[in-house]
Structure 1
Amino acid sequence: MPELHFYLKNEGIRTSTDFGQLNISSDDALGFRPYQLMVSSIAGCSLSVFRKILDKQRTEYEDIKVTADVTRNEEEANRIEKIHLHYVVKGRHLNEDKLYKNLETSRNNCSMVQSVQDSIQIEETLECIEISL
């Protein structure tokens, strides 16, 4: 994996990747806030692994949306204490019990969730929306 380089710029930090420039700042107007990047990494990794599992099982889904609700502790450097990931799966012939098992498998195989499991509580819930042909 190539090294990442970060540069101090004006009111924030900048890095570049193959996908473009990323600005990081404590000011929403100047870039992504660090906690947003952490939550995005956790949600993105979890959803990617979940999708791979569903694709391998040939689950008929049309769309998956994840909403992240974050609890932070202002008294301890505003640290992230809990992330609630709520999955909404739209598809055909969805089996909620099987989807929950798949979600548990994705949790165990997501490197980002595994990296923070001892310091951030990750809670996952699921909602199925059955669509017709």
Structure 2
Amino acid sequence: MGIFDNILGSNKNKKENTPSYLNWIPLTTLEQLEEIKEQSKTESIFIFKHSTRCGISSMVIKQFEKLFTEEHQNLKVYYLDLLSYRNISDEVGYSFQVTHQSPQLIVIKNGTAVHNASHYDITQTDLSRFI
């Protein structure tokens, strides 16, 4: 298929050359929630709650990753695997007073949830307003 890739363009090469501006931070301990609260005093902190068994969650996370451009590369985005860390998900809901959804994006500023979106609404989030 090499000749067709040259004529039509290869999606594989385009994908490899596209830089990723999203650097996930795994959220795996309850102690990190205190760090998030502290960090949120000086910058917006994102928590993305994801279910690895949910088709909608898988589609939304891919679209969410595409929202990130070079201007967003310094945003702190925590990734929470709901199936592995249900207790942390429960504490996120309690600490930031948000109802559990999956997938879900929560933005924390000054220790408080200032934005909360779920499902496909996540892909409509204007990341630049949180810089």
Query: Which TM class, normalised by the smaller chain length?
Result: under 0.3
TM-score (norm 1): 0.24
- The structure where strand makes up a greater share of residues is 1
- The structure where helix makes up a greater share of residues is 2
- Point out which structure has higher relative CO (alpha carbons under 8 A, 6+ apart): 2
